[in-house]
Structure 1
Amino acid sequence: MGHSPSDIRCLEFFSGIGGLHYAFILSETKGEVVASFDINIIANSVYKHNFGKDPITKAIDSLVIKDIEKYKANCWLMSPPCQPYTRGGKYLDDKDQRAKGLLHLIDILPKLSDPPNYVFLENVLNFEKSKCREKLVTQLCLMNYEITECLLTPLQFGIPNDRLRYYLLAKKRSDLKDLIVPHEFLENTVIHLTWPLPNMLKTNYQQENYSNIFNIPPLSAYLEELDEEKIKKHLVPEKYILKSFNFRFDIVLPSDHKCSCFTKSYGSRHIFSSGSLIQTKNLEYTNYNFENPSSLLEIVLRYFTPEEVANLHAFPIKLQNFKVEIFFENPLNEAVYQEMSIPKSYNFLNNHYKGTSFEFPENI
């Protein structure tokens, strides 16, 4: 069956476990993701488990024009490696080898016989100050794209995950009048701190008390009902805590309305700045003494499970093991959140989401 010229045909670069693929499905836009590209074997196994096809493992910086044009795609989705723009990556920016894939796509974009109508990119805070972003925006301006840039966090959309991210949306313009001059665009850049498109929520990420504005649910709404065996599996090893003298890692209660951003090293011995840890015992004790790590053993810390982390990133996971779901009643007009108890036997996704639900393979 052929596709309509109006259908969106996406290429998903740096596809990971398929976050942008799910976002495209959840947007209910008519179209499909026709191919994805990633070299991470573990991420690709998760992607295949959920979408039924393997991402292409050819390095993105080695793609040639015919590798891209054969898909007749009119939309690019990109979530390139964030390390070049972080302290952990030493802010090497365009000098970092991990930026080669993005730089190659920027270079190949004007060489295509039919460039995509839409380009979407997600990355970390500080990408907006990078040379890679400058090169991308310059190329898009020269090719007559209308560009919108944002810094947004899930907190602005009622999800208790403090994960501020940069987003770029670009749409190719057919009107050749008033061409965008790159240096003028860069000099007058407006990075939106609210959702910039009409009929959606608008709240500045710098506002502190999101829970009053959006009725952000507690973290308990995103936690699984775990038996003792599974809790033990996710406990933070005591040796990691005892070695963390005076490291003020982030501890959250199930009743809290915010957790910190999860990083690639979450779940390892790097418990400082890799993501929040859940306090499971003595919940009344919150005056933590980080100079005496042994005192923290009494509150019994555990990691968020992979499913809980996915839930906090708005992946459409199966909810049999979750007590509560928070959802938009009318997302295009006003924010109306409802809290409802969900029996274990009730599959919320079967009634409100028609795509495939997300899950991790058993061997991951």
Structure 2
Amino acid sequence: NAVYAHNYGNNLVKTRNIQSLSVKEVEKLQANMLLMSPPCQPHTRQGLQRDTEDKRSDALTHICGLIPECQNLQYILMENVKGFESSQARNQFIEALERSGFHWREFILTPTQFNVPNTRYRYYCIARKGADFPFAGGKIWEAMPEDIAQNQVLSQISEIVEENVSSDFLVPDDVLNKRVLVMDIIHPAQSRSMCFTKGYTHYTEGTGSAYTPLSEEESHRIFELVKEIDTNNQE
């Protein structure tokens, strides 16, 4: 909200419960585009997956009721976690689009397809009134259509990390000593990193990658030396 207010002014920023939003208010704003990323917790693979029974889905249900009534809406973009595509919430959203005369396409995409070395699969839906899209519907695209996609060379981690990072961001020695073998350690020449979760910095396994400026060869050599020292100590 602070960024939006800086760019467009405070008079358009509203911090409130979406379920109180009315058709009259949307029409008064003459809003022609809706960008949304509803709460993903009802659909995450690690959660309870209560879908529309989860109270956090109520805001999306309310929006789906508004869409057919808001005549000014021409474009909609939806983003959510992978898994949303098989939910009841997704079905009610698509039904709202169909009732409103939207053309729509769905995708499961990850940043690595756009030259960003991070794996983070997400559901996307684009919708518009008027002209249909120039590529087929009726399926979930797992890559951009050939006539839209561009050939890209995936960046290496070394091309995007900041230099001279504060020591505050170093992994503590006690964590390394205990958990280094389960950490996803990435190196400068690699073109991948693990999806980061809210558990990052709290848990070491499965929550995101840790970066080292050492090459893979240097890292492997150090690990072998550590193993050798451990073996000698046990003897």
Distance 1:88 1:238, change over 3 A: farther
- Runs (5+) with no aligned partner, structure 2: 231-235
1:225 corresponds, among 163, 170, 180, to 163
Distance 1:126 1:244, change over 3 A: same
- Runs (5+) with no aligned partner, structure 1: 1-43, 176-187, 202-212, 296-364
Normalized per residue, the structure richer in helix is: 2
Alignment of 1:131-210 (within 5 A): 131-173=88-130, 189-196=138-145, 198-201=147-150
Could you tell me how far 1:276 is from its partner in structure 2? Answer: 1.1
Structure 1 vs Structure 2 CA RMSD: 2.9
- Aligned equivalents of 2:176 and 2:57: distance in 1? 34
1:253 maps to 187
1:219-243 residue CA offsets vs partner (Å, 9 max, x unmatched) = 010011115xx1x110123444456
Could you tell me how far 1:282 is from its partner in structure 2? Answer: 7.3
2:208 maps to 275
Alignment of 1:23-62 (within 5 A): 44-45=1-2, 47-48=3-4, 51=7, 53-54=9-10, 55-62=13-20
Instruction: Give 1 or 2 for the bigger CA radius of gyration.
Output: 2
Task: Report the AA paired with residue 195 of structure 1.
Answer: M
Contact 2:188/2:215, CA 8 A, preserved across alignment: no
- Aligned equivalents of 1:99 and 1:281: distance in 2? 44
Task: Report the AA paired with residue 81 of structure 1.
Answer: P
| 1:161 alignment partner, SS class | coil
Could you tell me how far 1:163 is from its partner in structure 2? Answer: 1.5
Sequence identity percentage: 33
Task: Report the AA paired with residue 191 of structure 1.
Answer: I
- Aligned equivalents of 1:91 and 1:142: distance in 2? 27
Distance 1:95 1:245, change over 3 A: farther
When normalised by structure 1's length, the TM-score is: 0.53
2:41 corresponds, among 71, 80, 83, to 83
1:166-222 residue CA offsets vs partner (Å, 9 max, x unmatched) = 1101112489xxxxxxxxxxxx94001121373433xxxxxxxxxxx7321210100
| 2:29 alignment partner, SS class | coil
| 1:147 alignment partner, SS class | strand
When normalised by structure 2's length, the TM-score is: 0.80
Distance 1:153 1:282, change over 3 A: closer
| 1:262 alignment partner, SS class | coil
Task: Report the AA paired with residue 70 of structure 1.
Answer: K
Could you tell me how far 1:95 is from its partner in structure 2? Answer: 1.8
Distance 1:173 1:278, change over 3 A: same
Aligned length: 218
Task: Report the AA paired with residue 143 of structure 1.
Answer: S
- Aligned equivalents of 1:97 and 1:141: distance in 2? 25
- Aligned equivalents of 2:41 and 2:61: distance in 1? 14
Contact 1:109/1:115, CA 8 A, preserved across alignment: no
- Aligned equivalents of 1:101 and 1:259: distance in 2? 33
Alignment of 1:56-71 (within 5 A): 56-71=14-29
1:111 aligns with 2:46: no
